[in-house]
Structures are given as C-alpha cells and as structure tokens.
Amino acid sequence: MHRIRIVHKEWLVALGFLAPSLIGFLLFYVLPFGQSVLLSFQDRFDQHPTLMNYAELLQSSSFRKAAANSLLFTGISVPIIVILSLAIALMLNKRVFGRRAMRTAYVLPLVVPVASLVLLWQILFDWNGTINAVCSHFGLERVDWMQSDAAMWVVILMYVWKNLGYNVILFLAGLQNIPEQYYEIANLEGASPLRKLFGITFVYLTPTTFLVLLMSVVNSFKVFRETYLVAGAYPHDRIYMLQHYMNNMFLSLDIEKLSAAATLMAAAVLILVFVLFRVERAFRSFME
C-alpha cells in the first residue's frame, strides 16, 4: 500500500512538471489541428458537411503535382541522408585525424539561422552565383539552377547539408552505446570487419536507425522555409511541394481546401510512421 502511494505521488509530480508542455501542445497543436480537420469537411460558402474539398483536391493538377514532388523528395532525400550520416558516424567513431573538428563542422548548420543558410545557397546557385562563375571560367554555359529540373537536387542537397549533423550525432550516440566486449569477442573468434559490421554494429543500431529514419521523414516535409526563401511562392514545377500549395490556398483564403490538404498530408505522414514502426518491429522479431 505504501509503495502504491509512492508511485501515485511520483506520477503526480511528473504530471506537474509535464503540465505546461502538455497544455501548450494541446492549445497550440491538437486543438487547431482538430479544428482544421472539421473545416476540411465543411462547404466554403454554406458551412454544410461535404466531401467536395477532398474531391476537388484529388482532381486538382496542382495538388497532384505537389504531392508527387513531396513524395519524390522524401523518397530520394531520406535514404541519402540516412546512409551518408551513418557512414560519417562510423568514420568519426574511429580515431581519425581531425575528428573533433569534423564533429563540430557537422553540427554548425544546426545553429546557423535559416536566413543565413538561404543567403549561402543563393550565392552558390544564383544565375550570377559562385557555381555559374566557376562554370564560366571553364567555358561552360551558365545554368539557372532554381528554374530547371536540377532544382530538386539543389533542395535535396540543402536538406541533407542542413540536417546531416543531427543524424550524425544520433548515430554516434548509438555507436558509443554498443558494448566494446562484443567486438573483442568477435576479434577473438576471427570475425571479419564486414561480419562485425553486419552482425554487431547494424544489429545494435536498429533503434537508433529507426529514430533517424523517422526524424528524417518528418524533416523532409519541413523544407518549405528554405525552398520558399530561395525560389519564392511559385517555384519551378520540380520543387512545387505540398507546403507551397497550402501556402497559396492560404493566400487565396480557401481555408477549407487548405485544411483538407493539411489533413491529407498529416495522414500520409502518419501512414509512413506506422509503416516504419511495423518494419522496425518485424526486424526486431526476426533478429531475436
């Protein structure tokens, strides 16, 4: 009985500390999103329940283009950033020259303001930017990078560069939590480096890899600020994302259609997260 009271008291103390964050999350995230879901099922003029907002969205070529570009961006950028951050973390986990300096360098994009990042990329990829200046020096034609099919790869490069350091930190933390005696036993048994990599490192990095993959997917849907500041509200077709579509709906005050688009995007993210959870659980069961 005394133990139950102690546990109950600890729960009350924990809730007391969490209450400000929970209240803020409820007021500024849950309730507004719930209201937007309700608005997505209302007619724009007479406020009657309807599914026309979703029907019009699915028939809209702009929405389909934005959705396809967003999925394409996630499908390309997430595997690149996960594989690259894992490779860099494996390198930094060993004793290499300049390891501390490189660790600091990979974290710097996280602390630089977005406006400064955008200015950097504008200097690089503008018509009169650094890359075109180098191309002209070698006799190559200038390219309007943000108004060509290469714009998608510019945004992918910007996303990877900005978020790579955070993923590297997560992987480094996961690598340093693997007990060193596992590798010592593998060395005694004559295991090859490849066998240790797949039999020890990747197995014990499964939770960290899942977290990095999850964070990368979520962050891939949050590249609107950078793309908007670099290319404007109506960028090239290759980088016209769902966030651009919703921003344009907001400017035209079509709140119901905007709410429907936001609901569909949230549903897509939830489905991706659910699939990731199922895959991670199945992988754990297979390894056990």
Task: List, for residues 146-157, the tens digit of each pLDDT value.
Answer: 888 888 898 898
DSSP for residue 112 = S
The whole-number average pLDDT for the span 49-65 is: 86
What sign does the dihedral 235-236-241-246 (CA atoms) show?
A: positive
- Name the nearest CA neighbour of 210 among 49, 82, 64: 82
Tokens of 226: 């950078």
Rounded average pLDDT over 55-73: 89
Element (H, E) at 113: none
Mean pLDDT highest for which of 42-46, 95-99, 110-114, 194-198? 194-198
Write down the pLDDT at residue 90.
87
Helix (H) or strand (E) holding 200: none
Tell me the per-residue pLDDT of 214-262, one tens digit each, with 9 for 90 and over. Answer: 889 888 888 887 788 777 777 888 888 888 888 888 877 778 888 888 8
Residue at token pair 């929405």: 63
pLDDT for 19 beyond 80: yes
Domains of the chain and any CATH numbers: 61-287 (1.10.3720.10)
Give the model's pLDDT for residue 288.
Answer: 59
Answer with the residue of higher pLDDT: 14 or 264. 264
pLDDT of residue 40: 85
Residue located via tokens 């139950």: 4
Indicate the average pLDDT of the chain.
83
The answer to whether residues 159 and 223 touch, using CB atoms and an 8 Å cutoff, is: yes
CA distance 288 to 282: 10
**What residues form DSSP beta bridges with 32?**
none
The residue ranking higher by pLDDT, 190 or 106, is: 190
Host H or E run for residue 40: helix 31-40
Instruction: Please state the rounded mean pLDDT for residues 36-51.
Output: 80
What is the structure's pLDDT at 78? Answer: 92
42 CB-near residues (< 8 Å, 6+ apart) = 48, 49, 50, 53, 256
Higher pLDDT, 283 or 195: 195
Q: Quick one: pLDDT at residue 85?
A: 92
d(CA 162, CA 109): 5
Tens digits of residue pLDDT in 67-110: 899 989 999 999 999 999 999 888 888 766 666 666 667 677 77
Tokens in use for 96?
A: 């290499």
Q: Which of 256, 262, 263 is CA-nearest to residue 43?
A: 256
Q: Token digits for 276?
A: 């990731």
DSSP conformation class of 42:
B
| 179 sits in which H/E element | none
- Say if residues 235 and 164 touch (Cβ distance below 8 Å): no
3: pLDDT strictly greater than 80: no
Place of tokens 């570009």: 69
205 pLDDT band, cuts 50/70/90, is confident
Look at the alpha carbons of 133, 134, 140, 145 in this order and tell me if their dihedral is positive or negative.
negative
- Residue 2 — pLDDT band, cuts 50, 70, 90? low
> Which structure tokens are listed for 94?
């060993």
Higher local confidence (pLDDT), 86 or 128: 86
Which tokens sit at 142? 């200038």
Q: What confidence score (pLDDT) does residue 54 get?
A: 87
Residue 49's identity, in one-letter code, is P
- pTM (2 d.p.): 0.82
Name the token pair of 245.
Answer: 């579509």
